[in-house]
Chain A
Amino acid sequence: MSKIALRVNGRAHTVDVDPTTPLLYVLSDDLELRGPKFGCGLGLCGACTVIVKGRAVRSCVTPVSTMEGAEITTLEGLGTIEKPHPIQRAFIDAQAAQCGFCLSGVILTAKAFLDQNPRATEPQIRQAMSGVLCRCFTHNRMYDAIKKYAQEKRS
């Protein structure tokens, strides 16, 4: 066990864990966050995605020790029910979810990519999303929401 300092959604935390523990378990168990979720534990589906230094990171395959001091943003770190982030607003407006289990992967991967590539074309966005799964297959509505967010960013 070792003490590791994390910054999550703007708040500082110190956890005392096995340093090889994947970040996801620390976020969902030690910090009781609900955004990042366990989907596969293999980095193949996206459900555990968080944003670190502007990039989408699969927290289920990221040892917590490599995150010391990094600023981590989870789905609940973007906005609130009362004041959702624009990309979350776009998903609500488009009713772009069914079970919603995939949303950390879908929303945070799209956000991180579009924030870095605001002029990305649709094929480029799809390429960026190619490792993300939604098994309810709400794809078309999700792309409507993602494109709306991209448009808002550009204008």
Chain B
Amino acid sequence: MSGELSRRDFLKQSGGLVVSFSLAPLARLEPSRDGVVQRGGGAPRSQIDSKQLDSWNGIGADGRVTAHSGKCELGQGMHTAQVQLIAEELAVPIDRVKLIMCDTSISPDQGTTSGSQSHPANFNHENLALACATAREALVGLAAARLGVPPDQLTVTDGMVAAKNDASKKVAYGELVGGKKFSLALNPNAKRRDPRSWKVLGTSVPRVDLPAVVTGQMEFVQNVRAPGMVHGCVVRPPAVGATLLSVDESSVQGMPGVIKVVVRKNFVGVVAEKPWQAIQAASRLKATWTPASLPRQAEFYDYVRKQPSRDELLVDSRDVDETLSRAATVVKATYRHPYQMHGSLGSSCAVADVQSDRATVWSSTQSAYPTRNGVAMLLGLPPERVRVVFTRGSGCYGLNGADTVSYDAALLSQAAGRPVRVQLSRKDEMAFENYGQPYVIEQRVGLDRDGNIVAWDHESWSATLGNRPGYDTPGNVITGTLAGFQPAAFAPRTPAPPPSGRFDNGSNAAPSYVAGCVGGACGGTGSVKSERVLTHAIRGPFFTGPLRSPSRLQNTFAHESVLDEIAARLNVDPVEYRLRHLRDPRLIDVVKAAAKAANWQSRPSPRRGTGATANGRGMACVLYEGDNGYCALVADVDVDRNSGRIAVKRFVVAQDCGPISSPDGMKNQIEGGVLQGMSRAVGEEVTWDDTKVTSVDWRTYRSLTMGADMPSIESVLINRTEGEAMGAGETAITLVAAAIGNAVFDATGARLREVPFTAERVKAVLGSLKEGGSGKSEV
């Protein structure tokens, strides 16, 4: 079993169920429930009713389970984890489960696989988990009737329902429903199996897809081949915002294999018989563009603060200025975080087969249904006539080029009248993807005479443009914009209205140490009641979108750094100082667990060591998004004082994400998260000049390679079987820049307030220390 499902035989699998994919009935555009008539691709509608059991699970005559999920495999192990969930709830062996992920012809619409939401969505008490529990109870009910045994006297094991007291009375699932539909709604009262008795879920099941991946058998989207398929290559403008003046088609006339030059508004591409021919023609095609003008990178953080902004107050106790004015000490510091990119290893790729009245797109998008609707808008088709088949791609870590290249393939296929495969060049992937947002963050923290925090004032500026396209905004990525759609509107708003509704920590804009009180209810994890969190979003020059721990990482870098700056000023151990202001017991537990596992010695920072190599330790902690995963991290680093080079020696992570589906799967996510976070913290930064992005390959955007020395990683997993399942893919990475920065301070007394911590930058801060300059925060 190759761990994949060929698109050719996806309809003839053994599983009974299977809501068939029909192109015949064309749903009209009707008002949705809220009465709004949706334009073009707009409505998030699916023909698959997610309230119906048959949309999720089917049992074949052979007893095999076929399941459908709207959460897909991105390399994070979600295929295997969902197979474990299904096997556990239905009491069948792993190898009797077939899981189809994110095919809009058969999967329920679960939006986007992102944001650490797959576990919250599918592993608690709705969606896939509830479907499986509903199916198990339905099977028990059918068996009760068949065997004449009351349901509470029955047990399920190995795909059989059997009487607890009479082993001869048993019936296999296949005999109960084989090949037929359940025709049942999901039962909100269906009981999940008790995590304390789990046999498959909660264990480290090896990844079911890995043998095929490791032996080169797995079909990635790059490997999809449709009959009659040809190859497209896009011709991008020099920069976002440049518009097309002219295209000279004669410049590629007569080139071998060239089928068509495609121009639609500012979208330009070439279609040719072979990929190499398309690439050569695209590089030869003469296109002229208006010049683009970009803000100077050297002054960008100042630029960001001067633009019209959309302001939001997440929390405001309205006494912050007064409390700060009365405080014994006010610690102020400003932190900066650059644009960073997803930098997927594989350039994004998609295959589209667009015909006059229908289209199929094979895509590694995280958002099958939204991409379906976006493609429909671009092509002028109703969304029901577009099928998006998720096919795995290179790890994306958020919104890489997968959505935009799906649009590219669809536009080129429509123009060429043939199936077209598009694979972006490295430069087109890197220069036009939706980067992680840059930030400037100011912290002002007031302390009383005993060193307790009495007020916290957080103010941030970040640059945005576009985002995930969602169901109706294809202009949020480059291709949609080029083809004539607008990015989501930007409406400046100053001042921000007062906070309302429930406390929302706003992508961790609110630090862990504030009480988070809105409308009389306090939802934060800390104790500081005089609190203000004000954010300013401005319109930036480059597309942005979610990059693993979007904004959460940047904000947490600032919070967890300033916390250590304060502890150092007070000559207090930074772990003790955290615990003094935290009140969420689970957050306190991960801090203590990480400190214990790291053998943390209580003492203030910095260590004030001597010698050419300085060693230090740093801590950071977070409750991701305020409700989605507790994590604490200790980094142990060496700093070479002469070169400024940081070598991280060890990471210790403690994590609590509720009941753990797969301990090894979670560890793999933690390990990848901290090392990716380390690469981002020490070296990754998008660069540009006056007219274009200059980070266009692995020489100009520096990722740590397989040659880099890597730290050891120790993961302490806290398994809370009684809790809700939370996300685990973005917790640890959120803490890395702060923990490393704090460790460098501990080692050297040099405070790093700007990511990335390149050797040059570290050396400069070390140099300013020697000159008596400020490693110290402003007071």
Q: Which residues of A contact B (CB under 8 A)?
A: 1, 17-18, 20-22, 25, 28-29, 32-35, 37-42, 44-47, 74-81, 84, 88, 91-92, 95, 97-107, 109, 126-127, 129-143
Contacts and interface: CB of A to CB of B under 8 A. Distances in A.
Nearest to A1: B256
A133 B218 contact: no
B74 interface: yes
29 contacts: A18-B276, A18-B277, A22-B276, A28-B222, A29-B275, A34-B223, A37-B220, A38-B222, A39-B426, A40-B697, A44-B426, A46-B706, A75-B215, A75-B216, A76-B216, A78-B216, A80-B215, A81-B212, A92-B206, A95-B207, A105-B706, A126-B706, A126-B708, A133-B698, A133-B706, A134-B345, A136-B676, A140-B713, A141-B668
B41 interface: no
A33 B325 CA distance: 68
A104 B213 CA distance: 10
Contacts of B222: 28, 37-38
B671 A141 contact: yes
B664 interface: yes
A79 to B, nearest CB: 6
Nearest to A142: B706
B214 A91 contact: yes
A97 to B, nearest CB: 6
Q: List the 8 closest A-B pairs by CB distance, nearest first.
A: A130-B707, A99-B75, A35-B216, A75-B216, A76-B216, A99-B395, A137-B675, A100-B213
A103 B207 contact: no
Nearest to B662: A95
Interface string B685-709: 0000000000001110001111111
B426 A42 contact: yes
Contacts of A92: 206, 210-211, 214
Contacts of B397: 135
Nearest to A75: B216
A40 B219 CA distance: 19
A18 B255 CA distance: 12
B603 interface: no
Contacts of A132: 705-707
A101 B705 contact: no
Contacts of A143: 710
Looking at chain A's contact residues, the main secondary structure is: loop
Contact of B274 (A17, A98, A107): A17
A140 B256 contact: no
Contact of A130 (B344, B705, B710): B705
B253 interface: no
Given A39-B347, A41-B425, A92-B210, A101 B707 contact: no
A33 B221 CA distance: 13
Contacts of B423: 38
Given A80-B215, A140-B712, 5 more contacts: A18-B274, A29-B231, A40-B698, A130-B706, A137-B704
B394 interface: yes
B392 interface: yes
Contacts of A45: 345, 698
A40 B394 contact: no
Residue from A47, A79, A103, A133 having most chain B Cβ neighbours under 10 A:
A133
B214 A100 contact: yes
A111 B672 CA distance: 23
Interface in B159-213: 206-207, 210-213
A91 B231 CA distance: 34
B76 interface: yes
B500 interface: no
Contact of A102 (B212, B219, B345): B345
B207 A79 contact: no
Contact of B217 (A34, A102, A106, A137): A34
Contacts of B1: 81
B548 to A, nearest CB: 10
Contacts of A141: 668, 671
B275 A100 contact: no
Contact of A44 (B207, B216, B699, B707): B699
Contacts of B698: 40, 42, 44-45, 133
A14 B242 CA distance: 44
B668 A138 contact: yes
B707 A129 contact: yes
B225 interface: yes
Nearest to B76: A98
Given A33-B216, A95-B668, A139 B710 contact: yes
Interface string B664-675: 100010011101
Nearest to A123: B709
B679 interface: yes
B683 interface: no
Interface string B346-384: 110100000000000000000000000000000000000
A100 B75 contact: yes
A150 B725 CA distance: 39
B215 to A, nearest CB: 5
Contacts of A99: 74-75, 345, 392-395
A97 B214 contact: yes
B395 A98 contact: yes
Contacts of A29: 231, 274-275
Contacts of B223: 28, 32, 34
Contact of B346 (A21, A47, A76, A95): A47
A127 B707 CA distance: 6
B697 A44 contact: yes
Interface in B204-252: 206-207, 210-220, 222-223, 225, 231
A93 to B, nearest CB: 9
Contacts of A76: 215-217
Contact of A136 (B395, B709, B710): B395
Contacts of A131: 705, 707
A88 B207 contact: no
Nearest to A108: B216
A106 B705 CA distance: 11
Contacts of A103: 213-214, 216
B206 A38 contact: no
B721 interface: no
